[in-house]
Structure 1
Amino acid sequence: MTSSTVRARWAARFLFFACGFLFATWGVHIPTVKAVYGLGVGAIGGLVLAAGLGSVLGLTQAGWLIARHGARRVAWWGALVSAVAIALLLRMPNLVLLWLLLGLFGMASGLLDVAMNADASELERQAGRPMMSAFHGMFSLGGMAGAGVGGLLISAGVAPDLQLLAVALGNVLLVAWSVRQMVPLAPQPETAPAGRFQLPRGRLALVGLLAALGFVVEGAMYDWSVLFLQTERGAPQQQAALAYASFSAAMAATRFVGDRLRARWSAVGLLRASAGLAAVALALVLLSGSVPLALVGFALVGVGLANVVPVLFSAAAQVPGVSPAHGISAVASLGYCGFMVGPSIIGFVAHGSSLTVALGLVVGCALAQAALARRALRD
C-alpha cells in the first residue's frame, strides 16, 4: 500500500469524523439557540425544518456539482460553509436570517455528505474490499465526540460563542488537510443534465426506497426512543436518556466491524439480517414492560441499522450507467426524506393512539426493508 493511499484513507476517516462532530455540535446547542433568541418549541421546529430542507437541496444538487467541479472542491466548500454557519449560529440579528443560516448549514452539509461518500466509494473500489461501514463508524464516533466535548465545555462554563468558533476552526483545519488527500473519482457516465436532479428510477429508486425505510427507523430512534421510555414505561429522565445512548453506541461499535460482515455476507443477506434484527429488537422493546430489557432492545436496533446505510450507499455507487456521486445523491435524498417525514408521522399516529402503536409502524418499515432487499440489491 502506497503512502498516498494511506493518507487518502485517513483523510476520508477525518472527513466523516468532522461531519459527525459538526452535526453533534448543532444538536448540543439547540437549547442554547432557544435561550439566546428567546424561541419557543415551534420556532425551534422551524429551524430544524430549515436545516432539513437545506440538506435535501444540497443532496439533490451534489451529483452534478461533483461531476463538474470534483468531489474535492465540493467537499471543501461544503465543509467550509457549514463550519462558518456553526460559528455564526448565535450572532444572527433576527429569526429570518437565523432560518436562512440553518438552511445554508443543511445545504452545505448535504454537499459534504455526498462528496465524502463518493470518495469513500472510490477508495472501496480501489481496495477491492468493503470499507464503507468503517467510514460511517467514524461519523458515529464524531457525533459521540461532539456531544461529549460540547457537554464538557458547557459544564466548564465556556462561553457558547467561543465553543462554536473553536469547533468551526478545528473542522476547517482538519478538512483543509483531508481534502488535499482525496483521490480523483474514476470517470463514469453521467445521465443527468448539469443543474438538474432527476428522480431515480428502476434499481436506483428501489435502493432509495430501502434507504427511506431505514432512515424512518433511525429517525424514530433519534426522536422518540427517550420519550417512549418516559411516557410508556415510566422511566425517570436520566434513565430514559440511556435509550438513545445505547442505540447510538451500539451502532457506532458495529460499524467498525461491519466491513468484515460485508466481506463474508452478500449485500442481500446482510441487509435482510440487519433489517430483520432491527424489527425483532424493536418489537421486543414494544412488547416488554421492562426498562432494562428495552435498553437492550434499543442497542440491538442500533446493531441492526449499523450496516444499512453503508450497504445501500455502496450499492448506489455501483448502479450501471450512473456515476457514484449521482447514485449516492439520489439515494441519500430519498433516504433523508424518510428521516424528516417518518418521525413526524409517528407523532401524528401517537397523538391519535399511543406511541407504542406508532412505533409498531416502524417495525413494519424494517420488515418491508428486509422483504425488498433481494429485488433492490440483486447482482
Structure 2
Amino acid sequence: MLIQTIKARKATKAIFLVCGLGISSWAPMVPYAKDRLNLNNADLGLLLLLLGAGAIAMMPVSGILAHRYGTRIVIRYSAIIMALTLPLLLLINSPIWMGLALFILGGTVGTVDVAMNAHGVQVQNSSEKPIMSSLHGLFSVGGLFGALGLGFLMKLGLSPIAAAISIAFLLILIVSWNYRFLFDVHTEKELIRKFSSETEQVNLKGISWLKGSIIFLGFMCFSVFLSEGAMLDWSAVFLDENKGINPEMAGIGYAAFSIAMATMRLLGDKIVSHLSGKTVVIGGSIIAASGIFLAILTPWIATSLLGFVLLGIGAANIVPVFFSEGGRIKNVPATIAIPAISTMGYAGQLAGPALLGFIAYQFSLNIAFAFIGALMLIVAITYGLRK
C-alpha cells in the first residue's frame, strides 16, 4: 500500500498541475477573443459568467459521479474534454458558440477540481501526513505555466491555434500517463471506511447550508476567490488596455500572481503553524488589498506586476484557514460544511469576474479592480471583529 500511495501522491500532484494549466491557458486568450468577437466589457463579462456557471453546475454532479465511478474516471474524461475545448476558444467566431464553449470549459474545470480535491483527501489519509497545501501550490504552478505558455509558444513562431493545440496535447499526455497511478474506486471506498470520523456518521437530517457560520465563511471565500478569478479573466485585459502592454505578453500579469501564490502555498503549512489563523487572514487581506490598489494607481507596468505579486502573497493562505474553520463548525459535519463553503467560494472565482465586467462597462476597469480591493479590506475588518 505504501508504494501505491507514493505513486498516487505523485499522480495527484500532476493532476493539480494539469487543472492549473488548463484553466490559466484561457487567460492570455481573453484579449484575442474580445477583439475577434468585437465585445465590450459587459459582453465579455456575460461570457465569463457562463464559464463560472458551467463550473458551479457541474461541481455537485462531479461529486455524484465520483462516488459512483471513482474520482480517477471522472478526472480522466473531464480533463480530456477540458483540453480539447481550449483550441476551440481561438477558432469560434460566434458569441453564442463561444458562450457554449466557455460553459463546457468551466464545467470540466469544476468537475476536475472537485474530483482531484476528493482524491487528494484520500491520498492524504493514506499518507497520514498533510499534503493539500502542496497540491494547491502545484495548481498555482500550473497557473503560471499556463499563463505564459501560449505567449511563449507564439514567440517561438507558432500561430495562436497551433500553440493552443500543443498545450491541449500536453495536458492529455500528462493525464493519460498518470491515470493508472490514481486510486481506483475500490481503494477509495476502503479508505473512506477506514478514515471516516464519528462526525461524518451523524444524522444529516435538518443540517442546512443556511447556518450562519457557513454563510459567513462562504462569503469570505467568495471574496478571496473573486480576486483569483479577476486575475485569470481580467489581468491580461487590464494590462493591455490600461497599461499598454503587448497582447502576446499580457499573460505575464497572471503569471506574476501565480508565482507569488504558488510560492506562498508551498510554504503555507509552515506559515500557518507559526502564525494564528486570524493573523494570516487579516494580514493577508490587507497585503492583497494593497497590491490591487498599487496595480491600479501606478502608471508603470513593473509596479502593476508588483501589485499582482502582493495580491498573490496576501491571498494565498487565507482560504485554507477558512476551510479548517469550516471543518470545526459545531454540530455540522465537515462533509457538509466544506462542500458548501467551497461552492460559495468558487462562485466568486468563476462567476464573480462577470460582475467585474458589468462594473467595468458602467464605470471603468480600474473601478472594477478597486471593488476587489474593497472586498479584501472587508474580509480583514469583518474577520478581525468576529469573536
Bin of the TM-score, shorter chain as denominator length: 0.7 to 0.9
2:240–2:246 contact (8 Å) kept in structure 1: no
**Within the alignment, does 1:330 sit opposite 2:340 as a pair?**
yes
Q: CA deviation at 1:178?
A: 3.2
SS of match in other structure, 1:122: helix
Q: Which residues in structure 2 correspond to 1:49-128 (within 5 Å)?
A: 49-86=49-86, 88-89=88-89, 96-127=96-127
SS of match in other structure, 2:267: helix
Q: CA deviation at 1:222?
A: 4.5
SS of match in other structure, 1:269: helix
Q: Which residues in structure 2 correspond to 1:277-292 (within 5 Å)?
A: 277-283=287-293
Q: Deviations over 1:263-292 (max 9, x none)?
A: 333433322332232234445556767765
Change (3 A) 1:288 1:29: closer
CA distance in structure 2 between the aligned counterparts of 1:225 and 1:159, rounded to whole angstroms: 22
CA distance in structure 1 between the aligned counterparts of 2:233 and 2:98, rounded to whole angstroms: 23
Q: Which residue of 2 aligns with 1:142?
A: 142
Q: Which residue of 1 aligns with 2:223?
A: 213
- Which consecutive residues of structure 1, in runs of 5 or more, have no partner in the other structure? none
Change (3 A) 1:204 1:300: same
Change (3 A) 1:33 1:224: closer
Q: Deviations over 1:24-81 (max 9, x none)?
A: 333334456567xx52225655543322211110123333333333322322232132
Q: Which residue of 1 aligns with 2:3?
A: 3
Q: Which residues in structure 2 correspond to 1:162-241 (within 5 Å)?
A: 162-179=162-179, 180-182=181-183, 184=188, 186=192, 187=196, 188-189=200-201, 199=209, 201-222=211-232, 235-237=243-245
Q: Which residue of 2 aligns with 1:39?
A: 37
Q: CA deviation at 1:138?
A: 1.0
SS of match in other structure, 2:211: coil
CA distance in structure 1 between the aligned counterparts of 2:274 and 2:118, rounded to whole angstroms: 23
Change (3 A) 1:352 1:151: closer
CA distance in structure 2 between the aligned counterparts of 1:366 and 1:254, rounded to whole angstroms: 18
1:216–1:343 contact (8 Å) kept in structure 2: yes
TM-score by length of 2: 0.77
Change (3 A) 1:41 1:347: closer
Which amino acid is 1:305 matched to?
Answer: A
2:286–2:377 contact (8 Å) kept in structure 1: yes
Which amino acid is 2:318 matched to?
Answer: V
Change (3 A) 1:192 1:48: farther
Which amino acid is 1:148 matched to?
Answer: L
CA distance in structure 2 between the aligned counterparts of 1:59 and 1:212, rounded to whole angstroms: 16
CA distance in structure 1 between the aligned counterparts of 2:37 and 2:29, rounded to whole angstroms: 13
SS of match in other structure, 1:237: coil
TM-score by length of 1: 0.78
Q: Which residue of 1 aligns with 2:264?
A: 254
Change (3 A) 1:28 1:267: same
1:276–1:304 contact (8 Å) kept in structure 2: yes
**Within the alignment, does 1:369 sit opposite 2:369 as a pair?**
no
Q: Which residue of 2 aligns with 1:153?
A: 153
1:25–1:147 contact (8 Å) kept in structure 2: yes
- Judge which range, 10-19 or 219-228, deviates more: 219-228
How many pairs are equivalent? 368
CA distance in structure 1 between the aligned counterparts of 2:367 and 2:45, rounded to whole angstroms: 24
Q: CA deviation at 1:321?
A: 4.8
Please, what is the CA RMSD of the aligned residues? 3.9
Q: Deviations over 1:187-219 (max 9, x none)?
A: 4559889xxxx7553433332211101023333
1:63–1:329 contact (8 Å) kept in structure 2: no
CA distance in structure 1 between the aligned counterparts of 2:91 and 2:352, rounded to whole angstroms: 32
Which amino acid is 1:181 matched to?
Answer: L
Q: Deviations over 1:92-146 (max 9, x none)?
A: 6966454333322211210111111222233444555543222122112112222
- Which consecutive residues of structure 2, in runs of 5 or more, have no partner in the other structure? none
2:28–2:236 contact (8 Å) kept in structure 1: no
CA distance in structure 2 between the aligned counterparts of 1:126 and 1:272, rounded to whole angstroms: 33
Change (3 A) 1:130 1:312: farther
Percent same amino acid among aligned pairs? 31
CA distance in structure 1 between the aligned counterparts of 2:87 and 2:15, rounded to whole angstroms: 18
Q: CA deviation at 1:296?
A: 3.2
CA distance in structure 2 between the aligned counterparts of 1:231 and 1:90, rounded to whole angstroms: 20
Q: Which residue of 1 aligns with 2:132?
A: 132
2:44–2:357 contact (8 Å) kept in structure 1: no
Change (3 A) 1:302 1:95: closer
